[in-house]
Structure 1
Amino acid sequence: MDKLGTYVLPISVVCLVAFCVLRKVPVFDSFVCGAKQGLKTAVGILPTLIGLITGITMLQASGALDLLAKALAPLTCRIGLPSAVVPLILMKPVSGSGSTAVLTQILQQYGADSLTGRIAAALAGSTETAFYCIAVYYGSIGIKKTRHTLPAALLGDLAACLVAPLAVHLVFYA
């Protein structure tokens, strides 16, 4: 049963190709056409991603992220969020890999079974990389105005910030 996972992808590909052959779809031509479209999409969103990554790097390198985290710490402590998770809250909407690095630092410093570690893990799992997703998905189809997407995504992140400490306390400390 453990080896079933290693065969799922190859079996899926074989089934897909067989289905296409039965339906008389030119498999290789369709693949090449899709690859061309994917490459065009990647090139189209590249400037947005470069700008986003540059902005993240500048925030981290300048210390602005740490200053903002210190400024928000008194507010977050009132709602039960340890000040150590504030950088995670600020990083998660912008960068998945950056927030994973912050989460790793929190877990190494405080431990996975600590209150801070558990709240950080709950936040990491319940929030989204909103700016990255909007840049990639909207950029790939050429949408310039995001309308209500960003406020809704950030509102969801805010809800997670309010509920995560409560959930951790109820599950682990009640």
Structure 2
Amino acid sequence: MISYIIKGIIPILIFSIVTYGIIKKVKVYDCFIEGVKDGIALSLRVFPYILAMLVAVNLFKESGALKAFINLAAPIVSFIGLPPEVLPLVLIKPLSGSGALGVYTDIVKTFGPDTFIGIVASIIMGTTETIFYTISVYLGSAGVKKIRHTLWAALLTDFTALIISLMVARAII
């Protein structure tokens, strides 16, 4: 019974919205078309920011700069208890969600999901944000030029999530 509800949740939701609109005497189809137009316009405004972020992430990865930075930072991250194998995820996640997913998949395939490294990577994936992507896309498309304290607050939040993920993973293992 529950599986039928889960499979039918989107049609049920659409039917509910259309029914509510008809009851409230709203031109549902016209509103839908207007929303699609707005969505396409938003996509066109956001696309350059997404493209720039994807190019920057790929340049960083393919140039070897990421690997060099990991080798340089390995002693420091080992000091705080972060496995150096997770460092690429920590560095890529603020830049690109899809890049981070690729790195995460690599970590889980190599070390397993139930190892300390796999658990730390899983918690980081679930608790951190694609900061630079989010800032560039959302604030860029909204025309915000001065981000003020947004970047520093987001970086501090990600660092806190990193420390907490290490503590939780140690408690689990």
TM range (shorter): over 0.9
Q: Secondary structure at the match of 1:133?
A: helix
Q: Which runs of 5+ in 1 are unaligned?
A: none
Please name the residue that 1:13 is paired with. 14
* CA-atom RMSD in angstroms: 1.2
- TM-score of the aligned structures, taking structure 2 as reference length: 0.94
- Output the CA distance in 2 between the equivalents of 1:142 and 1:37: 16
- Output the CA distance in 2 between the equivalents of 1:120 and 1:2: 31
1:41 positional shift: 0.8
2:97 alignment partner AA: G
> How many residues get paired?
172
| Mapping for residues 126-141 of structure 1, pairs under 5 Å | 126-141=127-142
1:47 positional shift: 1.0
Please name the residue that 1:151 is paired with. 152
Question: Contact 1:69/1:86 (CA < 8 Å) preserved in 2?
Answer: yes
- Output the CA distance in 1 between the equivalents of 2:119 and 2:20: 46
1:138 positional shift: 1.6
- Output the CA distance in 1 between the equivalents of 2:123 and 2:107: 12
- Output the CA distance in 1 between the equivalents of 2:97 and 2:138: 15
1:108 alignment partner AA: K
Q: Secondary structure at the match of 1:124?
A: helix
Counting aligned pairs with the same residue, the percent is 37
1:68 positional shift: 1.3
1:100 positional shift: 1.0
1:26 alignment partner AA: K
1:69-101 deviations in Å (ceiling 9; x for gaps): 222111110010011000000000011111111
Q: Which runs of 5+ in 2 are unaligned?
A: none
- Output the CA distance in 1 between the equivalents of 2:3 and 2:20: 27
1:34-83 deviations in Å (ceiling 9; x for gaps): 11111111111111111111101101110111111222111110010011
Question: Contact 1:69/1:90 (CA < 8 Å) preserved in 2?
Answer: no
Following TM superposition, the consecutive aligned residue runs of length 4 or more in structure 1 with deviations greater than 4 angstroms are none
Q: Secondary structure at the match of 1:80?
A: coil
2:53 alignment partner AA: L
- Which deviates the most, 140-149 or 94-103? 140-149
- Output the CA distance in 1 between the equivalents of 2:123 and 2:15: 39
Question: Contact 1:94/1:131 (CA < 8 Å) preserved in 2?
Answer: yes
1:100-120 deviations in Å (ceiling 9; x for gaps): 111111111111121111111
- TM-score of the aligned structures, taking structure 1 as reference length: 0.94
Question: Contact 1:42/1:140 (CA < 8 Å) preserved in 2?
Answer: no
